[in-house]
Amino acid sequence: MASDLTMEVKKIARQAGADLVGIASIDRFEHAPAHVHPHSIFSHTQSAIAVGLRMVRGALKTAEEGHYWQAYNCDSYQYLNEILAPGILRRIVLFLEDHGYTAVPIHNPFGANMGRPVYPGGPRPDGMISLRVVGCAAGLGELGLSKLFLSPQFGPRQRMFAVLTDAELKPDPLLTDPVCDECGECIRGCPAEAMSSERTVEVRIGNHIFRHGDFDPKKCSPIHQGWDPRYSPFLRKDSSRENPPPYYRFLDHRFRHHSICVGRGCVRACMDHLEKSGRLEKQYRIPMIEGKQWVIEDPLD
């Protein structure tokens, strides 16, 4: 029974620690370009299981206060991506294998399309699917103006993962009520001006079109990685990419990357707005943003 199997898959995911789990049937991807279609990874895919894991609110709050970056880099980046998600996906995969199905865990991040096709007309390994889009296709949320995946539970505060399987599971209805209200706080809070205010990019899933603004990763990247002294307390006068500050070396060594912006606009300002305006399911005792967001006034003095 598809519904019994689906219920079991969801139960296993939740018991293993998933905050969100939903199912997309393969027809939801009929408008996806071939190079980002689930079949470019696993040609027998019938269902995509979307799994959302929340980033802890305190890790974002302490970066918002300008006090502590390690919780985000350890818990909400490395631990989610490299420890918790692989464990949860593996539990789902093994359960499906035990029932005679084949299932593929889709981790994050990707080393996408770095190979060449092994047969004429084949996809370029490794294939890549958008985990944000899988989340939408599985009914767990929508795309904000910022391009980030937004859920009614956590707003932008989760990372998405997936399992592709040949099992025909029962799909969840799409979420068509918007979480995003176009407030523009993500844009105003982004020091890199990486987002645009018009929803010009369309993602068609089934009969529904999700729209988000254009996003420029080249503008985001230097701020995200902490190369602007107004938004990083760790830079020194002699810092450069060839001579990174000791804290970046520590994060890179310990957690294999460093995130310094910690979503000042795209995550924290968005969360703050969605929480304060009552658009998320939960409320918290302290707001994400109290007063004005900090900017270092005398960088490198």
- Where on the chain is the footprint of ligand SF4 (CB under 6 A)? 144-146, 180-186, 190-192, 194, 220, 223-224, 261, 263-266, 269-270, 273-274
Q: Six-digit token pair at 39?
A: 């079949």
For ligand SF4, the closer of residues 136 and 274 by Cβ is: 274
CB of residue 268 to ligand SF4, shortest distance in Å: 8
The runs of H, that is alpha helices, within 156-285 are 185-189, 217-224, 246-255, 270-276
For ligand SF4, the closer of residues 15 and 277 by Cβ is: 277
CB of residue 233 to ligand SF4, shortest distance in Å: 15
Using CB atoms within 10 A of its CB, is residue 180 exposed (0-12), middle (13-18) or buried (19+)? buried
For ligand SF4, the closer of residues 166 and 294 by Cβ is: 294
Which amino acid, residue 116?
R
CB of residue 131 to ligand SF4, shortest distance in Å: 17
**Residue in 169, 163, 205, 167 with CA at minimum distance from that of residue 18:** 163
CB of residue 231 to ligand SF4, shortest distance in Å: 8
For ligand SF4, the closer of residues 13 and 270 by Cβ is: 270
Q: Six-digit token pair at 121?
A: 């007309």
- The residue number whose beta carbon is nearest to ligand SF4 equals 144
For ligand SF4, the closer of residues 172 and 228 by Cβ is: 228
Cross-strand partners of 21? 51
Using CB atoms within 10 A of its CB, is residue 176 exposed (0-12), middle (13-18) or buried (19+)? exposed
Determine how many CB atoms are found less than 10 A away from the CB of residue 171.
21
CB of residue 121 to ligand SF4, shortest distance in Å: 36
